[in-house]
Structure 1
């Protein structure tokens, strides 16, 4: 997989070139490297947030072509909607994927319990510590039951 961008000067910048990565079911994978080496760009391709310039991304032998069920991505910076409650932030994925609201709410409450945030459903991100915000983001990523993390 390769990802190229156009610079403001109209030049081509290759952010990642010929990356191959295989993660087996049940494995966890860490992508480590110096600032600017393409870690976040790689994850953006794998999650479907961006499309590769060349090559493809496959999850469970299915080509990833945009945001899809089965893949989640937890951003390195807080990526919570400040106007939504903790529960509202965790509900976004299932609702966008078409899960009925009642079922999605039960799932979201279960994930909030799993990450130790039961009782904080009605709080807003600015009312949480940094660690609590990360746990909301983790619940929001895992609620979609990704096949690979």
Structure 2
């Protein structure tokens, strides 16, 4: 698979796993606090990723990373944790078929943030698609 299209494969797998995450989480949080459920999920991810990184020989000493890299990875981790806590709370009280699409408003926000902070310039067609995602989220949210 060429590097120029490999991202599509991994992005599609990410979407499949994200969809399964919503379904498994909705079933799993019944009868348990959503924050505690998020903790269990996080511990599982920690062990699974640690095993994966170790088995594939990708472990490096994190202290050898630059301060900028570490800082932004820490910020990313904090944002991920906040996202998961909010997502699980929303799943606890809402329907997975509505929570997950609204969560995908992140697609619109990523495009805006990437434009502002990373100087990325999506094509007009891409902006149309991004706007359609946003409109879809509004339709789902208003028809709850």
TM-score normalized by the length of structure 2: 0.26
Structure (1/2) with the larger helix percentage: 2
Between structures 1 and 2, the one with greater strand share: 1
TM-score (norm 1): 0.26
Structure with greater Cα Rg: 2
